[in-house]
Amino acid sequence: MRSDEFMNAEDVARYLNLGKNTVYQLAKSGKIASYHVGRKLKFTLDDVEAYVASTHHAPSNEPVAHVTFDTTGEGEEGLVKAASFGELQGTPFVIAGGDAAADMLAGALNEAGILATRKVCGSYTALVNLYAGDADAAVVHLYDQASNTCNVPYVRNLAPGASVVVIRLYGCEQGFIVQAGNPKRMTTWGSLLREGVRLANRSKGSGSRVLLDEKLRSMEARAESIEGYDSHYKIGSDAARRVAGGVADVAIGTERDIRGISGVQFVPMQMEWVDLVVRKTPESRSVIKRIKELVELDRFQRDINTLQPCDTSRLGAIVYES
């Protein structure tokens, strides 16, 4: 997507992992610049990213958006009912990552009276931000082929010497997004190497891109031999739409990425775990305690389960600490 290309409210909602009602309220308040094209409300990627940047660096006396989650199933796509704007004071607790669970956590912390903001980026970048001190926590899903595990190997390598705790959130399947009927018969990772298979690839730093690169390395395959490997879509649904439109044959993503997109289907390939990595500091100690309490609530588990078919059996478990 070009930076000046128009997006509608649904595109922005997918990009920010929010609901359309939230996007409309952000536009109404002027927090995201918007434009009326005919009777439609439109946005540009530049303006959306400017809003994201403003939430990272907003002065502490600025109102911070936080999300109220709908547990009745009647909200936007069963996830978000509305957004409210509080006047919470203090230094914000910054949660980096691109998964919707990060928005849920930020919203839950704000509702609990703890000022929290979001830094929207891929899982790999989120960990780098945490190590650099630009984020207090990171929601990540990063698969390691050598150990057949997720996240902890990357925490050890990308945040060496850092004192952290890794809290399990949920497990879900990553896989192939293909055209309906799977005409290219994409059933193995080796299928990507067939001649004529076109890939809509995810951006560097995203969990889906890391998974693909780990699988290609395990096969000792040359990535540049795959048509479309150098493409980079920030949003899973964008890559899925390229498949639906016949521009590509396959994308890497989750079942959530194909919601509302016709002409595609999901082929599960690899179970992954989504975890929360929190930097341990004297200031974050009370926040970590509150997070543990929040994720154990039945309400939070119900909200997680609205994302997509997932495994919440270890929600809240500490899987690594240093």
Q: Which two tokens stand for residue 142?
A: 């990063």
**51 and 178 part of one domain:** no
Residue type, 89: Q
The alpha-carbon radius of gyration of the chain (Å, integer) is 19
**86 and 162 part of one domain:** no
**62 and 180 part of one domain:** no
Band of pLDDT at residue 178, cut at 50, 70 and 90: very high
pLDDT, greater one: 23 or 249: 249
Beta bridge partners of 93: 116
81-116 pLDDT, tens digit each: 223 334 455 688 999 998 888 988 988 898 888 889
Buried b (16+ CB within 10 A) or exposed e, 276-312: bbbbeeeebeebbebbbebbeeeebeebbebbbebbb
pLDDT, greater one: 5 or 18: 18
Average pLDDT over residues 277-289: 92
Q: Which two tokens stand for residue 192?
A: 């990507």
**156 and 279 part of one domain:** yes
Residue 98, in any domain of the structure:
no
SS3 95: strand
135-177 pLDDT, tens digit each: 999 999 999 999 999 999 999 999 998 999 999 999 999 999 9
pLDDT score recorded for residue 75: 29
**CB of 10 closer than 8 Å to CB of 20:** yes
Count up the domains in the chain and report the number.
2
Query: Rounded to whole angstroms, how far apart are CA atoms 278 and 17?
Result: 21
**220 and 286 part of one domain:** yes
What percentage of the chain reaches a pLDDT higher than 70?
A: 86
**168 and 270 part of one domain:** yes
**81 and 128 part of one domain:** no
**170 and 295 part of one domain:** yes
Of the three residues 69, 90, 111, the one that is the final residue of a domain is 90
Band of pLDDT at residue 7, cut at 50, 70 and 90: confident
DSSP structure class, residue 277:
E
Mention every residue, 6+ apart, whose C-beta is less than 8 A from residue 193: 219, 221, 225, 226
pLDDT, greater one: 208 or 3: 208
Residue 189, in any domain of the structure:
yes
pLDDT score recorded for residue 77: 29
Angle at 255 between CA 254 and CA 258, to 5 degrees: 105
Average pLDDT over residues 15-26: 76
User: Could you tell me the residue range of the domain that residue 15 belongs to?
Assistant: 1-90
CB neighbour class for 153 (10 Å; exposed up to 12, middle 13-18, buried from 19): middle
Please give the model's pTM, rounded to 2 decimal places: 0.73
190-246 pLDDT, tens digit each: 999 999 999 999 999 899 999 999 999 999 999 989 999 999 998 888 999 999 999
Helix axes 207-218, 123-132, angle to 10 degrees: 110
CB neighbour class for 244 (10 Å; exposed up to 12, middle 13-18, buried from 19): buried
- Write the CATH number for 295: 3.40.190.10
